[in-house]
Amino acid sequence: MTDNRDEVLFIIRQMCEDNLVLGTWGNVSVKVDDESMWITPSGMSYDGLCATDLVQINFNGTVLKGCWKPSSEWRLHAALYRGRPDCAAIVHTHSTFATAFAVARTAIPPVVEDFVQVVGGGVDVAEYALPGTDCLAQNALSALADKSAVLLASHGLVGIAPNLTEALKVCRIVEKTAQAVLYAKMLGPVEELSEDDIRAMRSFYLHSYGPETCGEDV
């Protein structure tokens, strides 16, 4: 069993440095196995958070390790792990520009290349439900579909990925794109990328993008 708690703490620090969250809002989790996760505790300041503050719970919310109450959004995390077997890490942020779209109940359109590569298309808004509820969790899973990000109406952003570094990248790219779209609309209409181009770029990102040796020593 891999202990990913130090990586969770690193991602939390990055999330705070990027101003993706304020105060104690937002949460991070990483899958331990097919039945449990490490997740941030409820209502604790990220300043000074240490590995022993994280909570291991199963997908029914039972605490397996740790002394604190898990994040109130544990149901959301559990639903996404259950519904998306390719997901092993989740970052939930309340970043400014993405949340602006969530408040307006407006999807972030697929207009930027790196965005569609990482996310798989536009980011849709889940139907509103109260935070921490099973209804919110199911609405998010439904709106997420096969993409790597979803907006929670009047709430924030969720990014999922096979690992924590990628999940944070998803949130960063979505926030950057939300800002770019708002600025671009000041200049005029924005044009969405075609479905064919989105599929091609997503496939390239998943299967061909990244460092690769050329077979020769330098």
Q: According to the model, what pLDDT value does residue 168 have?
A: 98
CA-closest candidate to residue 117, choices 82, 166, 151, 156: 166
When mean pLDDT is compared across 21-25, 57-61, 139-143, 199-203, the lowest value belongs to: 21-25
pLDDT band (50, 70, 90) for residue 3: confident
What is the percent of the chain with per-residue pLDDT over 90, rounded to a whole number? 89
Q: According to the model, what pLDDT value does residue 196 have?
A: 97
Q: Which amino acids are annotated catalytic?
A: 73
Other beta carbons within 10 Å of 122: 19
Going 172 to 174 to 175 to 177, the CA torsion angle's sign is: positive
Q: According to the model, what pLDDT value does residue 56 have?
A: 97
Q: What is the mean pLDDT of the chain?
A: 95
Q: According to the model, what pLDDT value does residue 208 have?
A: 78
pLDDT band (50, 70, 90) for residue 209: confident
Q: Which residue has the higher pLDDT, 217 or 207?
A: 207
- Is a pLDDT exceeding 90 seen at residue 24? no
Q: According to the model, what pLDDT value does residue 217 have?
A: 54
> What is the CATH code of the structural domain delimited by 5-206?
3.40.225.10
pLDDT band (50, 70, 90) for residue 130: very high
Calculate mean pLDDT across residues 52-61: 97
Calculate mean pLDDT across residues 170-190: 98
Q: According to the model, what pLDDT value does residue 42 have?
A: 94
Q: According to the model, what pLDDT value does residue 211 have?
A: 61
Radius of gyration of the chain (CA): 17
Helix intervals (H) in 65-207: 74-83, 96-103, 113-119, 134-144, 164-187, 195-207
Domain boundaries, the chain: 5-206
AA identity, residue 126: A
Q: According to the model, what pLDDT value does residue 23 have?
A: 85
Q: According to the model, what pLDDT value does residue 214 have?
A: 53
Going 106 to 39 to 88 to 141, the CA torsion angle's sign is: negative
- pTM score of the predicted model: 0.94
Other beta carbons within 10 Å of 3: 13
